[in-house]
Structure 1
Amino acid sequence: MEDRRGRLDILTSCVTHSSGQSLSSEQQAYLASQLLQDNFKALAFGITRQNANEYVDKHLKLLPEVYAQLIRKLPGLANNRGGTHPHGNRVLDTMWNLWLPLATRLAAQEQEIARPFVQGILGGQGTGKTTLAVALTQILSCMKLRCIGISIDDLYKTYAERQQLMESDPRLDRRGPPGTHDVDLGIRMLDQLRQNSQINSQITIKIPRFDKSAYGGAGDRTTPETTTGADIILFEGWFVGVQPVDPAVFVSAPDPIRTEADRQFAIDMNANLQDYLPLWQRLDSLIVLYPADYRFSKQWRQQAEQEAIAAGAAGMSDAEVSEFVDYFWRALHPELFITPLMRNAEIVDLVVEINSEHQLDRIYCPKDMEN
């Protein structure tokens, strides 16, 4: 705790000045030593004793501008700032330990392959996928890199198509599970983005967008966004990169897969994942955001709905949230589909574990855990 307080004191001082150069050499050395304390995180972000000071200097120079921009871009983050910081500025802590290092890593990866880099982000409800994408987009912009964020939700089939789908399979009465997306649309879009470099950026690419409020909340496609390309594409979603599993696992599946009907639904959704594999092949890398206990996702969603209701907005009851989340767990249960991926170095490049307080717990590359 003392280390965290010391780090936050220094970072808070940094964002109150116009440049990280206002910090003393001792303070910068302290931050460098802090980065090296977590060996797995240091390995994940390529931080060594030789480059730690340079790494700190680079990020300190970015920090004030990025911090100010993100607080404006995501007003909700201001609630987690902790003012001048009663030992709890989550924004600064997350920015320093994840967002800035990850942006630096992405910039290096994009330069390595010499074409637009597609980063997949897999995470369940409340894990911070959207916030991460917005933060990275802002930071990469400050690094003079073009970045675009796309959600798998943007690939939903049209309202009319989903109505037809529901007629053929009433179990797909909610959008979200495998089978409710236009996979071919996603493949075409990512292929265009991957092929459109800064040198050849004359082609206008349409990025599909989805309006969840249309048709009384059923949702429908809306006007696509247009772009001439990006250096880095962030593709996020609750099952982005997830692979089909052996159907035998459903014989003794975890709760809430309880009945034979539940089991069959899980088996069918598992089979539907096959259609998504060509889409996943367009990813250059996959990051997993994962709660230390997957059940935290339900608690977080219930808290969010309670806060919405308390603020006078519409929201779901705890029971409604429970049924909503259970539906997705019956489709693709985190224990069966995501937990195994966290140990699969061939598919996953980085794992970010999140504790019950929504704070970073562990950051590591699966390949480093094998040694």
Structure 2
Amino acid sequence: MNNDLIIKENIKLICNDLDLKNDQQVSKLYNNLWMPLTIHLANQFKEKSQPLLVGILGGQGTGKTTLTKILKYLLTQLNINSETISLDDFYKTYEERKELAKFDPRLIWRGPPLTHDVSLALKVLQSLLQCRPVVIPRFDKSLHGGKGDQIPLRDLKSDKTTNKVDIILFEGWFVGVKPIPEDKFNNPPHPIITEADKQFAKDCNQRLKEYLPLWELIDYQIILNPIDYHYSLPWRQEAEQKMKAQGKTGMSNQEIKEFVEYFWKALHPELFINTLSVSKSLVIKIDQNHFCADYMINNN
């Protein structure tokens, strides 16, 4: 078996683990997107001749986890050392978020702007970009009855990154998202309806400013954008059904609706994602079946 066939077989195994079992679609993605993108990132790294930070923006169901795992594997085949980091790993601690909820009771879920330790994220990413050893934080979502907490650094010492990292894959649901003009909230899309909804959206918009120093470190941006943002709701329902089928606790359909709409109210895709313009970026349009429908490269 030649090397290309071995790589394709391993790609299939990764996809099977992630419940992506359409071999024809996987083969198409490999040839038309994953491999060309990997080569493009490798060339970007070689041109920079320093560690490259790739931001990957995408909500649940857009294939963010799949893409990150595939890129990491393919970069390894090109002898490029990569590290995967999630914005989720920089959530504030459980105790910090309890205090945060007292300050702003609207922060009932982790995820919106202000629930992350941006200074920690800056420290870690700058260390990786400067080839300094660093312990990468990890967040355990199962702790405190699902509220989640940072894993103590003393338990992560063995995870200290000492090897030089060539490419950092930094993924998250609003990685790279920037504040928009305030007048965009004068006639906002559903479900931003009430004055309270508008104020929450405006506050989240203002809080994005704290993340800008983080986004400025990004060399190349990948945006996974559903053709229709409403897909997020059935995708979340699918995920919950799978959890229940495995005997895990899941949300009801009404709870899922409220959960998804909460994040639409915080950073609405039509306001923040569809209008996002980034130089040196790749926008991948995702269809209802979680597959790539189209993509557009911006090298300006």
TM-score (norm 1): 0.76
Equivalent residue for 2:103, pick from 154, 165, 168: 168
Equivalent residue for 1:146, pick from 81, 105, 123: 81
What's the CA shift for 1:130?
Answer: 1.3
Q: Residue 288 of structure 2 aligns to a residue in which SS?
A: coil
Q: Which structure dedicates a bigger proportion of its chain to helix?
A: 1
The answer to whether residue 285 in structure 2 is matched with residue 353 in structure 1 is: yes
What's the CA shift for 1:68?
Answer: 2.9
Equivalent pair of 2:221/2:278 in contact (CA under 8 Å) = no
Gaps of 5+ in 2: none
Q: Residue 62 of structure 2 aligns to a residue in which SS?
A: coil
What's the CA shift for 1:317?
Answer: 2.1
Q: Any residues of structure 2 matched to 1:54-133 within 5 Å, and which?
A: 61-62=3-4, 64-73=5-14, 75-77=16-18, 79-82=19-22, 89-133=24-68
Q: Residue 296 of structure 1 aligns to a residue in which SS?
A: helix
Q: Residue 112 of structure 2 aligns to a residue in which SS?
A: coil
Residue-by-residue CA offset, 1:218-242 (whole Å, 9 max, x unaligned):
1111144311231100001110000
Distance 1:185 1:306, change over 3 A: same
The answer to whether residue 139 in structure 2 is matched with residue 207 in structure 1 is: no
What's the CA shift for 1:285?
Answer: 1.0
The 1-side partners of 2:247 and 2:78 are apart by: 40
Residue-by-residue CA offset, 1:176-235 (whole Å, 9 max, x unaligned):
000000101111111111111xxxxxx421111100001111111114431123110000
Equivalent residue for 1:227, pick from 145, 161, 170: 161
The 2-side partners of 1:219 and 1:312 are apart by: 20
Aligned residue in 2 for 1:241: 176
The 2-side partners of 1:253 and 1:107 are apart by: 40
Identity %: 47
What's the CA shift for 1:247?
Answer: 1.1
In structure 1, give the amino acid aligned to 2:197.
D
The answer to whether residue 299 in structure 2 is matched with residue 364 in structure 1 is: no
TM-score (norm 2): 0.93
* Greater relative CO, 1 or 2 (CA 8 Å, sep 6+): 2
What's the CA shift for 1:270?
Answer: 0.3
Q: Any residues of structure 2 matched to 1:267-278 within 5 Å, and which?
A: 267-278=202-213
Equivalent pair of 1:205/1:226 in contact (CA under 8 Å) = yes
Aligned residue in 1 for 2:214: 279
How many residues are matched?
294
What's the CA shift for 1:345?
Answer: 4.4
Equivalent pair of 2:15/2:21 in contact (CA under 8 Å) = no
Equivalent pair of 1:308/1:314 in contact (CA under 8 Å) = yes
In structure 2, give the amino acid aligned to 1:192.
S
Gaps of 5+ in 1: 1-17, 20-60, 197-202
Q: Any residues of structure 2 matched to 1:291-302 within 5 Å, and which?
A: 291-302=226-237
The 1-side partners of 2:15 and 2:287 are apart by: 22
Equivalent residue for 1:322, pick from 222, 244, 257: 257
RMSD: 1.7
The 1-side partners of 2:249 and 2:12 are apart by: 25
The 1-side partners of 2:14 and 2:144 are apart by: 28
Equivalent pair of 2:127/2:133 in contact (CA under 8 Å) = no
Equivalent pair of 1:306/1:317 in contact (CA under 8 Å) = no
The answer to whether residue 145 in structure 2 is matched with residue 216 in structure 1 is: yes
The answer to whether residue 248 in structure 2 is matched with residue 313 in structure 1 is: yes
Q: Residue 217 of structure 1 aligns to a residue in which SS?
A: coil
The 2-side partners of 1:285 and 1:80 are apart by: 26
